Structures are given as C-alpha cells and as structure tokens.
Structure 1
Amino acid sequence: MSDFDTIPASIKQRLMTELCEKIEDAIFILDENLRYLSVNPSYELLIGYKEEFLIGRPLGIYAAEFLSEAEQVILKDIKKNLNEHGFYELDFSMANRYGQNIDCHITYRRIYIDQMAYHIGMLRDMSAVIKDQKQVAHLLNYDQLTGLPNRKVLLSQVSDMLLDSYQEVVLVRLNIDRYRNLTSLLGADGANELIKNFVKEVEKLKLDNLRSFSHFGGDDFALLFECKDGNMVRHQLDTLMQMCERPFSTAKTHVTNPSIYYHVSVGVSYFPKDDNEATGLLD
C-alpha cells in the first residue's frame, strides 16, 4: 500500500483544491449546459472576470445570439464533440475583458459524478510561445534590415505563381552599383540607411502589377511582376530609373558632399520565355 492510499479522502480533496488554486493553467468547471460553476484564480486573471461574475453565465459569458458568428461556430463544435466524444481541444485566439488578444490552447472533458454531467476546462496561455514561433519564422523568412521577404520566400511565391497564373510573370533583379565602395565611404550605419532609404523610395512608387519586393541582403533585390503583357514592366522600370536620378542624402556620412545617387544594374527574366522554373528565372 502506498503512502498516498493512506491519505483520507478529505485531505486528497483539499490537496486537489489547493493545486487548482495555485496552478498557472486556467481551470474552470461547467455544468451540463456549459454554464460556469467555478473557476480558479488563474482563469480570473487571464480573462479579467471574477468568479462571482461568471457563476451561472454560459460559456462565452453572453447568450449565444450575442456572440460573433465565428464564436457561435466554435461553441456548436464544442457541444457536438462533448456530446459525441466527451472531449474537445482547440487552439484559438480570444479577447479578454481588457481587449487583449490571447493565443490559447483549451481542452474540455466531460465527467460524471452521481450521474450528473460536468465539464472540466483547462486553458493555457500560449501567447509567449506563439510570439517566439512568429519571431523565428520572421527571422527565417524576412530580411531583418528592411523587413522585406528574403530569397526563400520569393522562390516560393514565384513557384506558386507559375502554377496558378494565367498571365505573364516577370522577375527583375536589382543591384546597387559600387555598393562596396559606398559601404566604405558611408560606414556600416550609413550603408544601412542607404538601403532602407532605397526600399522606402521604391515602395513609394507603388509600381503597377508588382506582386512582391524582396531583399536578398546587401545590395541585392528582386521585383516580381504579374501582368497581361510583360512589356508593361518596362514602363515600371523607367519609373524606377527616374527615382534613381534623385540624390540620396544622409547626415551620417562623413564625406564632404553628402549627396549620393543610386545607380542600379537590372536583369529581367520572363516566364516562360527565359525559363519554366523559379530558380532559373531568379539566377
């Protein structure tokens, strides 16, 4: 016989109650009709409502007709699964009392005590985990200096477009001439400012039929166009070249004349004329 088997039932109950009160996960108990019977302090803290306010209210706090369409669908799905399987779990984003969106993982279990049905819910705040995952995904898919999608993302975008598009696909590679010399001249901070300013000026052009503007690092950029006639891209490139005639000025440069002009080299690839695959068009 284990030591735990010798603990009186009343003590076990008190220990479990203490555990629910102290545990970081939000726990709540619902009746057969999914109305609140009890919640622990973590649940109160997470959603912003006290137990006294919640008791007797339906899951979702308000009557079903006052819930959004998406919330009504989730509520129906919860009821269906609990009736059929006695268990339900879901990852979703919910707004608490203060309007903060919280990414959650929630589980429901139906249990019977003295032939009465109850539902035990456990809600875990996954916001920090989701935030970390999003940050990692952003680091893997976007250039950190400019915030533009990187080569990996562009290749995926081009591949998808080649499969689905009924129009002409044009890929344009841009390189800033004499970039190494400019980096030596401006210093690291000045060169970063030059790149960010270049991106800002290109975005301000609002080029027609532009589907993606990507940065592969350094002075290497790509523009992805989709249009009825690939020759239309030439007009967009003319607009870009006119932009390059305006000087870039920075207070961070230590040279005597702070006005620098962008000079870019341009390479253009057409699908399917030049290649049938994303990597071939890009390289």
Structure 2
Amino acid sequence: MHRHVVAGQVAPADPFSAVTDAVYRIDRRWRFTYLNAAAEQALGCRADEIIGRHAFECFPETLGSVLEQQYRAVLADGSPRAFEYFSEPHGRWYEIRAFADAEGLTAFLRDVDERRRRERQQSAELRQLTAVLDALPSATVLLDVAGRIEMVNRAWQLNGAALERSGQAATGVGEDYLAAMARYLDRGHHGSIAAGLRRLRDAVAATTFTHDYPQQHDPDGTWYRLQAARVAASDRLIVTHTDITERVRDQEALAWQASHDDLTGLPNRARLLQLVGEALADGRGRAALLFLDLDGFKTVNDSLGHEVGDELLRQVGSRLVEQVRPGDAVGRLGADQFLVLARDCDTAEAAALAFRLQDSFSRPFQAEGISVPLSASIGVAAATPGADRAHQLLSDADTAVFAAKGAGRDRVHVFSPGLREAARWRLEVANRLRDGAVDEFVVHYQPLVRVDTGEIEGVEALLRWQHPERGLLTPDAFLSVAEETGQLIPITRWLLGETTRQAAEWAEQGLPLRMSVNISARHFSAETLVRDVRVALHDSGLAPENLVLELTETSVAEDPTRAEDQLAVLRNVGVRVAIDDFGTGWSSLAQLLALPIGTLKIDRSLLAAAARLAAGGTGPVLAAIVSLARTLGIRSVAEGVETAEHLQMVRDAGCDLAQGYLFAQPMPACDVMRWASRVRAAGGDSCAFALQSRGR
C-alpha cells in the first residue's frame, strides 16, 4: 500500500490498491493523474512514467478511437459509459467503465479477451449449428438443459406455419418442449417420449433415442419418427421429427399383403393360424375350424381357363363371407381350399354351419356368362378345452376333409380321434413306401373261369402288403397314399414285372393263364405305361395276348383322350384291355366304347342289385348289359360270384367269365397250381367243382 506524506501528515491509503480491475484517472486536460497496480500491469508501464503526461502522448493509438469518443462523451455530459475496446498493441479485448467527476474521469478496465473469444467461438458454432439445422429436411429443435426449445430450424417453422393455418397452435422458441408436444400426442406416446429423453440426459455415454408416433387429431393420419441425441460435451438435446407416413403406409400394405390372399383379399394361412391361436388363447375350447375343398375344381380350370377359375374363387370367398356368422373369419388356404374360423362354437354348431355352407353351393356361380355348378367337401374340427395349438386344429380339419373327399364329393365330415390315427397311418405308409416297402409286397391271385365250360382262363393279380407289424394289408390301406406321394407308378411297374414273370413261369409248368393287372389313371398322365408294359413283357417272355390291363371307368374318365392313345398302341401289340368295376363310375358309355376294350367286368354291386331286382320280378337286368357288350364284340366278366344263385344268374344273363369266392378266394402264387390241379382232377370244370365243394 502506498502512503504519501504531506506537511508532516500521512496521506490516506490508496482506495484502489486492492481492486483487481485496472483503475486510472485522467483530468480534463487528458493527463494521467493516477494508476493502481493492476493498471500498471494492464497498460504495461509504471505510474511514475506516465502520471502527468498526456494520454494520447502515452497511447497515440487511442486517438480517434472509440475510447476517445466515449471518454469525451463522459466528460461532456457527466454520464457514465460502459463499452468494450480492442487494444491493438496488446491484441486483447477490454471492458471499460468510465465515470466523470469535477476533476476529470475515472476508468475501470477489465480484461475480457478470453470471454470475448469464447463468446465469439460460441457464436460461430451457433451460426454453424443454425446452418446445419436449417439444412436438415426434417423439423428439428435444440433443447436446453431445462428442456426448453432453444432453437428451431426452417422446416420446424414451416410446419408451425402449416399448423397455424389449420387452426392449431404452433410451437416456438422458449416453450417447454414436452408441454408443447402434449398437444400433438396421446398419453401413451407422450409418456414414452418423455421417458426416452430423460434416459438420454441421464446416460453417461453418448446414445440416441428413437420413437415413432402418429400425430393426434390429424385427419391425414400423419406419422413421425422422433430421433433425439445429446449434443457433445453438453446437456442440450437435438430432436428431429421426420415424416414417415408413406413408409408406415407401405409397411402396413406389405403387412396386409403378407397376411392376405392376393386373389380374394381374404386372410391367408398364416393370418388364419394367428386368428385361430387368438381364439384358443382363453383355453375354453369354444372354437372350430372348417376346411373346405372344392370338388373337381381342376377340371373347371382346365376346361374354362384360369381367368374364369380365378373369378369363381373370388365368388366362392364372397359367398362364404356372406354365410358365416358375425365374428367368424373366412380365409383362403391356397388353390381351391378355404378355411372358416367359427368363434365361440362347439362341434354341433360347427357342423350346422358346415351344412349351411354346403347348401350355399346349391346356387350355381356365374362367370363370363357361364353358369358353373360347384360343390365342396368340408372337414370340421372343434377345439377341445385346454387346446391352444392352432396347427393341431388345422391338421384335424385337414384330416376331416380328407375323409370327406374319400367318402365322395359334396360331403361334410366331422373330425374324430380315429381320423387322427388314420392320418398317422398315412404318414407311416408314406415314409415306408419312400424307404423301400416294395420289398414287403406280395401278389395274390384270384381265378377267372368260363361260365359255360368252367375252364380256368386266367387270374387277376391282387397286390398285398405283408406289413411286419400289421400283417397282410389290402390295397385300400396303402394305395391312396402311394398315389398321393408319387409311389404308385413305381409300384405298378414292379407289379407288371412280377406278374408277367409269374404267368410265364406257370405257362412253362403247363398252366397257361391270362394275367389281369390293375392300372391307375396316373400311369396315363405319366405317359410311361406303354414302355413299362413292353419292358415287362420283354423281360418275362410272356406273350402280349396273355396280359390284360384292367382300368376302372373313373380312371379312364379323367383323361379319355390320353388313355385312348396309349391303349390303342398296346392293343396293336396284342395286350388286352378290360374295364373294371363297371357300373360304379360316372363316365358315359359312349366314352368307354371309344376305347379299345376287349372285356367289361361287371362290378359286384351291380350284380347284387340285379339279384334284388330279379327277386322282385323286375327282369334280367344283367342280360341287357351282357347283350350290349356282346353286340360290340366285348366279353363280359361277372365279379363277386359268391353263391350258386349268383352263378345261375350270370349263366342266364350270358356272361362269358366269372370270378368270386364261390370258385376261389385270392391266393398266393404257390397255391394256384395246387388249386388248378384239384380242378383238373375233378374233371376240369371249376364251376362244377365249386358247386360240389359248396355242397359238402
């Protein structure tokens, strides 16, 4: 502290010695009269060097500067002034406050260079941030530590203007962001966003927050994606709002397409299973699934074209929707199959619904000006209490419709546990057939005899499966599965080879028999029948005229043109053709007669019906059929001859051949020779031998 001695007195202490700001005084003649220690350091000179000297002499750079202007104003009006001044010699910014008094002015000088540079840097950063925000296409805001809007970009302002034009309040700088957003969000989305921003502020490491939301009270259904991030080294948040309405609608459209059928617009398999799962979720078992399979729809497509077929499928879907109860769901499984989910429904109610749907098909469908009759086989499966597996209910309904199709067209079948066992058996059969079950196949043979002489003319080959666990199985137990899995043709190919070899072997042993082998319609569509028959005949050495191919009339009706072409080739080679099970199919007689048929086998059901009619005095029904066949040069075979009365009836009708349990049951190959030997020993008349044996 400086002390001044005047006339023996001690001058008072310097009042500005402890002040951190630089302080100096200038009189009205612009001469320095005082500097404190901080002023000496700030101005870079000692007080004794400049006190008494003119200010502009000491600091000529201030002449004509802002500093001179401000000082003169203070001295002129006596009002204090505060301003900032950049000192060129020092290269720094100072904050100056000047106060006038009677003797001159006192100036307080503070170094603010660091603050000024920091503010300038912040200002530059802010300008840069503003430019960046304005360049963003999405509406963006900058939030301060308190969550208030500190800055908005141009896109935000444009959105705000649009809101104001629609009569809504815009959100601007200074508002609490979350409070303002409550005007555009429902409570759930608002709470999620508030929690997300809070986590973002509390996070130690840098992170981001994203949330999609619909704008509330917006007739256009606008969706936005909010993305927030914390500004580096700051507690401020930057939040963008991007319009994702088009993307959301695209996603909704894709989701709809993924869960609905393109052709009918109905829910698809995946969506139906989801709905079934939801219906079963309560565990009460009050739901049922109806599986509809259109009968013979492939024929419609093949004959009328797929455009008509598609239109019919759309109409079927619409008609089903009209018929089901409120709350039920209709879906398309694919191809010509539909599903109906009946909610809150037991087995009886589901069956009643199935019959109502079946009745709705009684009205023909109209497409391209054509009236098309359609029918559907329907499988019904009702859930049991506690059931929660949608796939199992679908499997049960599928099993039920399989049974309905097997029973004939236009049927309703309700699922039962026995059907599930049958389905498991079909799966087992399919697997065993694929794994080589042909090694377990055997052939049994049933004789065909001449009705007039009783002579043994041939045998019909009947396929059997010697199953290792279930014993000897008839074709009914496995051939339909073989057809479904594509194994039927290889099996038939093996059968042709085995039977022709056996017939050739019997012929060498002195028992020439004509071999009849059943052929399916699948062999016609595969177009390998001619080749397979020729290979079997070549390998066995059997004469072609000793082979008879038996076809059911229904199999021929599936593709009569293709059947006619292939059978004609075989007939020219010498192979004979027989129509089996005549009287059970739906083909026309004209269609059958167009084929190169040599034999007509009259089904046992027709024989039984004829027996009933004959008993009632209706007349010889069989005679008419046999007479027509003979007129056309076709031999007739009566199947199912089991009694002496049957034999007499087929004799009276004039049938050429007969087969049935009266003569012999199907037997292994090793028993055929023994049976034939016994007939020969009895005189060679198998009819007489059979009647004699029956009489014992």
Q: TM-score, normalised by structure 2?
A: 0.33
User: What is the CA–CA distance in structure 2 between the aligned matches of 1:128 and 1:67, rounded to whole Å?
Assistant: 19
- The aligned amino acid for 2:237 is H
The structure whose RCO (Cα within 8 Å, separation 6+) is larger is 1
Q: 1:138 to 1:45 in 2, by over 3 A?
A: farther
Provide the aligned C-alpha RMSD in A.
3.9
Runs (4+) of structure 1 exceeding 6 A deviation are: none
Q: Secondary structure at the match of 1:54?
A: coil
Structure 1, gaps ≥5 residues long: 1-7
Q: 1:165 to 1:44 in 2, by over 3 A?
A: farther
- Residues 1:173 and 2:291 are matched in the alignment: yes
Q: Secondary structure at the match of 1:153?
A: helix
- Residues 1:241 and 2:358 are matched in the alignment: yes
- Residues 1:133 and 2:248 are matched in the alignment: no
Q: 1:78 to 1:138 in 2, by over 3 A?
A: same
Task: Give the number of the structure whose residues are more often strand, by fraction.
Answer: 1
Instruction: Check the 8 A contact 2:292/2:337 in 1, yes or no.
Output: yes
User: What is the CA–CA distance in structure 2 between the aligned matches of 1:228 and 1:260, rounded to whole Å?
Assistant: 32
User: What is the CA–CA distance in structure 2 between the aligned matches of 1:85 and 1:13, rounded to whole Å?
Assistant: 24
Match runs of 1:262-281 below 5 Å:
262-272=374-384, 277-278=392-393, 280-281=395-396
Q: Secondary structure at the match of 1:221?
A: strand
Instruction: Check the 8 A contact 2:208/2:227 in 1, yes or no.
Output: yes
- Residues 1:151 and 2:269 are matched in the alignment: yes
**1:170-189: CA deviation from partner (whole Å, max 9, x where unpaired):** 22111222322322444333
Structure 2, gaps ≥5 residues long: 1-119, 165-169, 399-696
Structure 2 partner of 1:5: none
Q: 1:163 to 1:206 in 2, by over 3 A?
A: closer
- Residues 1:20 and 2:140 are matched in the alignment: no
- The aligned amino acid for 2:209 is E
1:101 to 214, 221, 230: 221
Q: 1:213 to 1:182 in 2, by over 3 A?
A: same
2:142 to 11, 14, 29: 29
**1:132-153: CA deviation from partner (whole Å, max 9, x where unpaired):** 4333333332211122222223
User: What is the CA–CA distance in structure 1 between the aligned matches of 2:217 and 2:277, rounded to whole Å?
Assistant: 44
How far apart are 1:244 and its partner, in Å? Answer: 1.6
User: What is the CA–CA distance in structure 2 between the aligned matches of 1:142 and 1:63, rounded to whole Å?
Assistant: 37
How far apart are 1:69 and its partner, in Å? Answer: 3.1
Q: Secondary structure at the match of 1:28?
A: strand
- The aligned amino acid for 2:373 is Y
**1:40-64: CA deviation from partner (whole Å, max 9, x where unpaired):** 23344567458x8633344367485
Instruction: Check the 8 A contact 1:168/1:230 in 2, yes or no.
Output: no
Instruction: Check the 8 A contact 2:138/2:242 in 1, yes or no.
Output: yes
- The aligned amino acid for 2:131 is E
Equivalent pairs counted in the alignment come to 267
How far apart are 1:265 and its partner, in Å? Answer: 1.3
How far apart are 1:16 and its partner, in Å? Answer: 4.4
User: What is the CA–CA distance in structure 2 between the aligned matches of 1:163 and 1:97, rounded to whole Å?
Assistant: 34
User: What is the CA–CA distance in structure 2 between the aligned matches of 1:16 and 1:63, rounded to whole Å?
Assistant: 23
- The aligned amino acid for 2:371 is S
How far apart are 1:95 and its partner, in Å? Answer: 2.0
Instruction: Check the 8 A contact 1:271/1:281 in 2, yes or no.
Output: no
How far apart are 1:75 and its partner, in Å? Answer: 5.5
Q: Secondary structure at the match of 2:238?
A: strand
- The aligned amino acid for 1:269 is A
Structure 1 partner of 2:174: 56
- Residues 1:91 and 2:206 are matched in the alignment: no
How far apart are 1:108 and its partner, in Å? Answer: 2.6
User: What is the CA–CA distance in structure 1 between the aligned matches of 2:180 and 2:291, rounded to whole Å?
Assistant: 55
- The aligned amino acid for 2:396 is L
Percent identity among equivalent residues? 20
Q: Secondary structure at the match of 1:100?
A: coil
**1:106-125: CA deviation from partner (whole Å, max 9, x where unpaired):** 23344588x8x533112233
Instruction: Check the 8 A contact 1:248/1:261 in 2, yes or no.
Output: yes
User: What is the CA–CA distance in structure 2 between the aligned matches of 1:157 and 1:88, rounded to whole Å?
Assistant: 37
Larger C-alpha radius of gyration, 1 or 2? Answer: 2
Structure 1 partner of 2:649: none
- The aligned amino acid for 2:273 is L
Q: 1:55 to 1:94 in 2, by over 3 A?
A: farther
Structure 2 partner of 1:3: none
- The aligned amino acid for 1:127 is T
How far apart are 1:158 and its partner, in Å? Answer: 3.5
How far apart are 1:215 and its partner, in Å? Answer: 0.5
Instruction: Check the 8 A contact 2:197/2:228 in 1, yes or no.
Output: no
User: What is the CA–CA distance in structure 1 between the aligned matches of 2:321 and 2:190, rounded to whole Å?
Assistant: 41
User: What is the CA–CA distance in structure 2 between the aligned matches of 1:109 and 1:33, rounded to whole Å?
Assistant: 15
Instruction: Check the 8 A contact 1:170/1:268 in 2, yes or no.
Output: yes
Q: 1:95 to 1:64 in 2, by over 3 A?
A: closer
User: What is the CA–CA distance in structure 1 between the aligned matches of 2:342 and 2:221, rounded to whole Å?
Assistant: 36
Q: 1:60 to 1:195 in 2, by over 3 A?
A: farther
How far apart are 1:240 and its partner, in Å? Answer: 1.4
- Residues 1:224 and 2:341 are matched in the alignment: yes
Instruction: Check the 8 A contact 1:103/1:127 in 2, yes or no.
Output: yes
Structure 2 partner of 1:4: none
